[in-house]
Structure 1
Amino acid sequence: MMWRTALLALLCGLPAVPAQALQLSRHGVELPAADSSDALWLINDESTEWTGHATVYLWNQPGQGDTLHPADDLAVSPARLRIAPGQRQRLRIVRLGPAPDRDERAYRLLITPQAVAPQGRAERHSLPVFLQPAASARPEPLQASLQATPGQPPQLRLYNGGNVHARLADLCFVDAQGHHHALLQGLAGYVLAGSGRSWPLPPRDGGYAGGGFSARLADGSESVIAPAPAIAPPALPGL
């Protein structure tokens, strides 16, 4: 469906186009198991009223990509937004049931304007929301592998066997001489708990044999990813 394709485009690893008329007090939410709600502020710094709506979707990585489905265990209030010029609106995120037992659950909160920007851009915000599990956080090294299909570009696949997400940025290929070659600058994407994610790799002379990969983690540190062992997320992964 076209609407689902548009939503999934927001999850390709690049940040959503920032809204000119709306500022957010934070760009992601982690809700502890002991809390049933959290909030963020939406600020309208423009000279005209901002109207739109907020919707939350369950976010999964079942195998070959990201999927979004309407969430029935998480709600936002208010869902319909009307913010006067120079004013702000508090947006609550409410868990409707118990906290996850063992694995963190992931969602995407979409904040969409009612009107399209003058330049024709959809000024949407897409924020990750994570419900932390009642069990203790158990980050594990991301298992890495290279996948090759005849006639197709190679892919780097990472699997997260831990119970919390990992956030990767500035993904690079590190050749046998230790030189870094940028693949994705900025946010490369998330690998959700108990899930895997793949990145297509551009063709290069000599392929990717004899090298490895590196990425910046949520805590700002850099880790090298070998096509077999992996990359460890920080003990307290961020957004």
Structure 2
Amino acid sequence: MRSLLVVALSALVPLSARALEISPLSVSVPAVPAHAELWLANPAGTPWTGQARLYRWEQDGDQERLQADDTLVVSPAQLRIAPGQRQRLRVVRLGAAPAAAEQGYRLVISPGADASADATRVSLPVFLEPQAPAAPSSRLRVALAGGPSAPLLRLYNDGDGHAHLADLVFVDAQGRRHALIDGLAGYVLPRSTRGWPLPARPEGYAGGRFRARLDHAGEADLPAAAGNIAGNAPGGL
């Protein structure tokens, strides 16, 4: 169960697979009760077959890694959904809730061997909430790396919950907005760092600020880090 599986998450579509509708698109498993559910619907005129697997999700520097883990299970794992029918998936935590910070997982739903050529895998985020009196929340710090020719935006999340980052923009010293990433940029897991390459600018990024929509809320400034952000912060997931 400890063999490492590295997956290019950009190749996994976090939406609905062809002929398969999924709701919700993100799952949180509370400390109590230790389970959550989602629904798969097949609106097509033919059966949909496939499988569901759960992997521990880690961010190691600028890499995304999925690792086999037995803390969570999904039921059923083998799927066959008749035309026009729905299937409930249950995600169940087998051990204790995380003690301090949220833990990230990915639920990967793959079509069966008999699927059409354009059918695709789906990767959904799953989060284990810690045993804590307050709901987990993110706390981001931003820094620049990579130099003028290959700038890199690095975000470190020292909160106890994941950060959901969307619609990233740079506001220069004159107040002009420059769109960098439209829509979902990605997630930063607790106690983890993630980087995004930025387009080179003749005047660089000094004197401006980065803004984004965080955790499904309104646009806000990304606060600057006091010092350098390490590629892989200690105490990560």
TM-score grouping bracket, smaller chain normalisation: 0.7 to 0.9
Would you say the 8 A contact 2:102–2:136 is kept in 1?
Answer: no
Paired position in structure 1 for 2:222: 225
The change in CA–CA distance for 1:64 and 1:116 in structure 2 (over 3 A counts) is farther
SS in structure 1 of the partner of residue 39 of structure 2 = strand
1:177 corresponds to: 174
Give the TM-score, by structure 2 length. Answer: 0.86
One-letter amino acid of the counterpart of residue 101, structure 1: A
Contact 2:31 2:129 (C-alpha < 8 Å) held by counterparts: yes
Aligned-partner Cα distance in 2 for 1:92–1:142: 31
The one-letter code sitting in structure 2 at the alignment partner of 1:212 is R
Match of 1:9 in 2: 10
- State how far apart, in whole Å, the 1-side matches of 2:121 and 2:208 are: 38
Distance, in Å, in 2 between the alignment partners of 1:167 and 1:25 is 18
Matched residue of 1:46: which SS? coil
The within-5 A match list for 1:96-175 is 96-115=94-113, 118=116, 120-135=117-132, 136-137=134-135, 139=137, 141-149=139-147, 153-175=150-172
Which residue identity lines up with residue 197 of structure 1 in the other structure? R
- The separation in 2 between residues aligned to 1:40 and 1:17, in whole angstroms, is 13
- For 1:234, the equivalent position in structure 2 comes to none
* Distance (Å, rounded) in 2 between the aligned partners of 1:45 and 1:160: 39
Deviations 1:127-146 (A, max 9, x none): 10000000234535311110
Task: Name stretches of at least 5 consecutive residues in structure 1 with no aligned partner.
Answer: 230-239
Mapped partners of 2:99, 2:121: distance in 1: 32
How large is the RMSD of aligned CA atoms in angstroms? 2.1
Cα offset for 1:116? Answer: 7.2
Q: C-alpha separation between the residues in 1 aligned to 2:97 and 2:154?
A: 29
CA distance in 2, matches of 1:27, 1:38: 13
Partner of 1:39: 37
Percent of matched pairs sharing the same residue: 52
Q: Which residue of 2 aligns with 1:84?
A: 82
1:149-203 deviation digits (Å, cap 9, x = unpaired):
58x6110101011111110000111111222211111100111111111100011
Amino acid of the structure 2 residue aligned with 1:8 = L
1:74-119 residue CA offsets vs partner (Å, 9 max, x unmatched): 010110100010111111101011111111110000111114764x
Change (3 A) 1:117 1:138: closer
8 Å Cα contact 2:6-2:64 kept in structure 1: no
**Partner amino acid, structure 2, of 1:211:** G
